């Protein structure tokens, strides 16, 4: 999940929080928050007029915008995973927001975004509890990936083997995430049946090299085109990445 936005019924963005970190702004074009709120409101109204029904999600270029209409506000959860628990989280977040700020939303003539900023202190623990993801560890890994030359990767949570971040820049290595997940699950099942574990492996397909590094909390899958020079570059990057991941900031890679 990337962000939660809460918009007043008049279309004003009054709360916004990015759950991944500022790292994302180096990889995605920034959109003015107020412009985004206006676009969301216009899109929702247009879809309702044409479809004559409640719109609960909008799919666009790999992103999913989950929508929830509260009594006083509208909530938008931008994600890349259509998971029912995210919809429940959005409903819960909007309900708590409206409960906390019912007076301001009902009676304040001017809504100032700074008046609602303290909601972050409540919604972040809600998100962490719902996802069961080590957010701090993910932020540190994303920072490491940003400093490397690897641009095509998927980050999984080790405990549930769930993809939580994807960055695929080169379309030649755009293997469907569900296919990569299936590969990891089969390797995990094989390890369990053999009473063994794995911390690093490489699979050389016809067109793509898949290289994986595993920490106690996350699995990182790096993808590269199989041209000789790309394969050599990936090997160097993986070696450097493994050194970074062993730093005190990250839990050590398991050794077997």
What digits encode the pLDDT tens for the residues 35-85? 666 666 666 666 566 655 566 777 766 678 888 989 999 898 888 767 788
Identify the CA nearest to 66 among candidates 122, 4, 7, 11. 4
What pLDDT is attached to residue 194? 73
What structural domains and CATH numbers belong to the chain?
3-131 (3.30.450.70), 135-245 (3.30.450.190)
pLDDT at position 187, please?
Answer: 83
**Beta strands in 140-199, from DSSP E residues, in sequence order:** 153-157, 162-167
At residue 255, the pLDDT reads 38
Give the pLDDT mean for 243-249.
Answer: 65
DSSP assignment string, 63-129: EEEEEEE-SSEEEEEEES---HHHHHHHHHHHHHHHHHTHHHHHH-SS--GGGGGGGHHHHHHHHHH
pLDDT digits (tens, 9 = 90+) for 147-199: 888 888 998 887 767 788 888 888 888 788 888 888 888 887 777 677 777 77
């Amino acid at each position: 999940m990337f962000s939660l936005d809460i918009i007043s019924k008049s279309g004003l963005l009054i709360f916004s929080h990015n759950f991944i970190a500022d790292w994302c702004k180096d990889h995605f074009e920034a959109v003015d928050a107020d412009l985004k709120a206006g676009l969301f409101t216009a899109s929702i109204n247009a879809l309702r007029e044409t479809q004559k029904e409640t719109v609960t999600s909008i799919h666009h270029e790999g992103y999913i915008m989950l929508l929830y209409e509260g009594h006083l506000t509208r909530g938008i959860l931008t994600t890349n995973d259509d998971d029912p628990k995210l919809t429940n989280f959005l409903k819960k977040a909007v309900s708590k927001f409206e409960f906390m700020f019912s007076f301001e939303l009902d009676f304040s003539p001017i809504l100032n975004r700074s008046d609602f900023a303290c909601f972050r202190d409540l919604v972040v623990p809600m998100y962490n509890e719902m996802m069961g993801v080590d957010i701090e560890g993910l932020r540190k890994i994303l920072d490491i990936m940003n400093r490397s030359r690897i641009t095509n990767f998927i980050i999984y949570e080790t405990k549930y083997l769930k993809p939580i971040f994807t960055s695929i820049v080169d379309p030649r290595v755009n293997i469907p995430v569900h296919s990569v997940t299936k590969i990891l699950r089969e390797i995990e099942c094989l390890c369990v049946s053999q009473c063994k574990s794995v911390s690093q492996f490489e699979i050389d397909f016809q067109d793509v090299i898949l290289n994986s590094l595993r920490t106690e909390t996350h699995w990182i899958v790096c993808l590269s085109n199989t041209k000789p020079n790309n394969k050599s570059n990936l090997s160097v990057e993986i070696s450097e990445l493994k050194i970074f991941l062993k730093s005190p900031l990250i839990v050590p890679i398991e050794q077997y």
